[in-house]
Amino acid sequence: MQIHVVQTGDTLWQIAQTYNTNIDLIVQANQIPNPNQLVIGQAMVIPIVGSFYWVQAGDNLWSIAQRFGMDYTRLAQINAINPNQPLQIGFRLYLPPQQRRSIETNAYIEPRGTSVSQALLAEARIAGPYLTYLAPFSYEARRDGSLQRLPLQGIPEVAQETGTSLMMVVTNLEGGQFSGELGRDIFQSQAVQDLLIDNIIAETKRVGRYTDVHFDFEFLPGDQRQAYNNFLRKAASRLRAEGLLISSALAPKTRADQPGQWYEAHDYRAHGEIVDFVVLMTYEWGYSAGPPLAVSPIRQVEEVLQYALTEMPGSKIMMGQNLYGYDWTLPFVEGGEYAKAVSPQRAIELATQYQVQIQYDTQAQAPHFDYVDEEGRAHKVWFEDARSIQAKFDLIKRLNLRGISYWKLGLSFPQNWLLISENFEVVKR
């Protein structure tokens, strides 16, 4: 795959000619709604084998080969050029596909109401070939050790069709909110814990495709840190005896003693020792009730990952990644109107509709733009595109992580799945 950013005057015909491909393939890969109306700054994935690189000032064949992990004589041979002659700025080099490493991938799927919509199942079918796990969100643990089920209609069948395992997500949600007191009640009773684990195991057997049980207990009181660790130890022993993996979700910390109820009970070192892998919730710096910011700016994401690597090996870490952005109405007022979640596809449609250029913040590694709606209200949109997701994939490779976990299916981002297959071999269980 090749990532191309639309410049002034670009047309799909010109872009296709540049990369020796055709317009239909580009339109299909990026699901471009109006091929005759491209947006300046829009990033597109060009479906070709390998990629092209245009020589820039200061480049030489050796430095380019080093950057892409190749031998410079091999690069010269592929491009039929003399390895000892200097390169001209603007010269196009062909880069063959690179060797892909194996990773695990997960995507949460959140049914609403009492059934699973056909649109959500369709999104799961698209994503399924690129996933190790599909994670229905969520089973809710109860204070008496019972388990509140969620609708699954069609989800196990989609997992079967796409060769995907299911991840059973168990939370301390109560009344739509994470409840620290519910968690405390469970952790303080051995009998309740035993019954809860019994019910979890029974559900994995009933459904039949669960290979991992994933605990997402949030907003726990800080004094429940050790109790949560002990519960996970008990659960790990029971679940492994049934041939199941165990994983947990962790708030995005940058130090062990980070204050705040979202962080204090999440013990990175203990989780790294107890569970098979963790999902780090490395997103929501920009969130619906907050000011306009990139949702997962890469510097902040890496800070969390670097801390996690001091507490556990990279082979146990799945980086969390958003599949969405937000559209804020300005000026931002704390406690005022919430930002609207938008898919990357919807963000492009908005930029096209209002004829505004997409900018790219190289520090955050995220695209954004501003527009004014029909009522004269100013808006700010931060979202994800091929460039921002490729930056995260490069981070996974550099830090040698286990993989990536997406929150959540339902907002279309076709480029992501194409780039997954370009960068990695997805493990299937």
pLDDT, residue 229, reads 98
User: Regarding the domain delimited by 2-95, which CATH topology (the fold level of the hierarchy) does it fall under?
Assistant: Membrane-bound Lytic Murein Transglycosylase D; Chain A (3.10.350)
Give residues with Cβ within 8 angstroms of 115, minimum separation 6: 151, 153
pLDDT, residue 207, reads 96
- List the single range of 36-40, 96-100, 277-281, 338-342 with lowest mean pLDDT: 96-100
Exposure string for 366-398, b = 16+ CB within 10 A, e = fewer: bbbbbbeeeeeeebbbbbbbbbbbbbbbebbee
Q: Is the pLDDT of residue 410 over 90?
A: yes
Which pairing describes strands 325-329 and 317-322: parallel, antiparallel, or unpaired? unpaired
* Ranges of H-type helices in 8-59: 12-18, 23-30
Confidence bin at 33 (pLDDT 50/70/90): confident
pLDDT, residue 99, reads 85
Catalytic residues: 218
Q: What percent of the chain has pLDDT over 90?
A: 96
pLDDT single digits (tens) 194-242: 999 999 999 999 999 999 999 999 999 999 999 999 999 999 999 999 9
pLDDT, residue 13, reads 96
Confidence bin at 69 (pLDDT 50/70/90): confident
pLDDT single digits (tens) 306-363: 999 999 999 999 999 999 999 999 999 999 999 999 999 999 999 999 999 999 999 9
pLDDT single digits (tens) 182-193: 999 999 999 999
Give the whole-angstrom CA distance, residue 407 versus residue 411: 10
Cβ-contact 195, 236 below 8 angstroms = no
Confidence bin at 281 (pLDDT 50/70/90): very high
pLDDT, residue 335, reads 95
Query: Where exactly does CATH 3.20.20.80 map onto the chain?
Result: 101-323+388-426
- Rounded to the nearest 5°, which phi and psi values hold at 134? -120, 125
Cβ-contact 217, 275 below 8 angstroms = no
pLDDT, residue 1, reads 84
The pTM of the full predicted model, rounded to 2 decimals, is 0.94
Encoded amino acid at 194, one letter: D
Q: Is the pLDDT of residue 153 over 90?
A: yes
pLDDT, residue 326, reads 98
Q: Is the pLDDT of residue 299 over 90?
A: yes
pLDDT, residue 424, reads 97
Give the whole-angstrom CA distance, residue 47 versus residue 27: 10
pLDDT, residue 68, reads 87
Query: Where exactly does CATH 3.10.350.10 map onto the chain?
Result: 2-95
pLDDT single digits (tens) 92-146: 999 998 889 999 999 999 998 899 999 999 999 999 999 999 999 999 999 999 9
Which pairing describes strands 147-148 and 139-141: parallel, antiparallel, or unpaired? antiparallel
Average pLDDT over residues 48-68: 93
pLDDT, residue 126, reads 96
Which residues, in sequence order, are bridge partners of residue 177?
Answer: 174
User: Regarding the domain delimited by 101-323+388-426, which CATH topology (the fold level of the hierarchy) does it fall under?
Assistant: TIM Barrel (3.20.20)
Residue-wise DSSP of 314-382: GGGEEEEEES-EEEEESSP-TTSPPPEEE-HHHHHHHHHHTT-PPEEETTTTEEEEEEE-TTS-EEEEE
Which residues, in sequence order, are bridge partners of residue 325?
Answer: 342
pLDDT single digits (tens) 348-407: 999 999 999 999 999 999 999 999 999 999 999 999 999 999 999 999 999 999 999 999
Q: What is the pLDDT of the chain when averaged over all its residues?
A: 96
253: its two tokens: 């910390």
pLDDT, residue 113, reads 86
